Amino acid sequence: MPINAIRETIQSALAHEERTGSFRQKLAEQLPCLRARLELPDIDPVGTLMCFVIDYVRSVPGSLNLVRAVSKRFGFHDYTVPFLELAEDYILHPPPVLPSDEGLEAMLDEAYLSHRLLEEVNDHHQRELRRPLLPVDMTEANLIVHYLVGDEFATRLEHLVQITASQLLARDYVWERVRALPGVEQASVARISSDTFGRGPLRVRLRLDRG
């Protein structure tokens, strides 16, 4: 199953990081710049960032499983299948724009594409119907990862997601069916959001005064 393969890919990236510590070192070097964008604790800020990143990439399989289950329950699974397959492909068959290494940095890029795709679907429904479709709200987490990835590269990845998502969202023959669906904001379903990341009081948040 793709989800099992995704979990294995994530575990491989985490094992690579445990052996090399390369991404932790990069975060340590970027810490002064990141403090201008993010609220970080004074105690072990790099460790807090690493916990956030690990939670973020590990949340991909759960997010995809949740979207799949909820879409089946509410009758719009056919609509979400292309998005789910694309989000899976971002992990299992990364696009050429991404680095080809097996480390946590590359894994974060791939997870960012997957989470941003789901966010793009929800943003579209929020604009058109004034309600989200999917039980996933990763807006703040995605913004944090935008800064971890770097403005220039993250913008390139977002452009890729937006182009692909716009093509899938333009499928009128399914959009008319989905338009009548209630969405999930009032439904009693499990949700995944940025608030689920972090360990106790040590959390990464956006700086509201970042300008």
- Residue 200: which domain range? 2-206
Mean pLDDT in residue range 163-182: 67
Task: Name, in order, each residue with C-beta under 8 angstroms of 31's C-beta and a sequence gap of 6 or more.
Answer: 40, 45, 46
Is 184 within the bounds of a domain? Answer: yes
Do you know the residue count of the chain?
A: 211
Q: Is the pTM of this model over 0.85?
A: yes
42 pLDDT higher than 70: yes
| Tens-digit pLDDT profile for residues 52-92 | 999 999 999 999 998 888 888 878 788 889 999 999 999 99
| Tens-digit pLDDT profile for residues 88-138 | 999 999 999 887 777 999 999 999 999 999 988 888 777 766 666 777 788
What pLDDT is attached to residue 179?
Answer: 61
Is 9 within the bounds of a domain? Answer: yes
> For residues 32 and 11, what is the distance between their CA atoms, to the nearest angstrom?
29
Is 141 within the bounds of a domain? Answer: yes
181 pLDDT higher than 70: no
Locus of tokens 């990364």? 94
Is 95 within the bounds of a domain? Answer: yes
> For residues 12 and 2, what is the distance between their CA atoms, to the nearest angstrom?
15
Is 211 within the bounds of a domain? Answer: no
Is 109 within the bounds of a domain? Answer: yes
Is 110 within the bounds of a domain? Answer: yes
Q: Are 184 and 129 in contact (CB under 8 A)?
A: no
What pLDDT is attached to residue 129?
Answer: 66
Domain total of the chain: 1
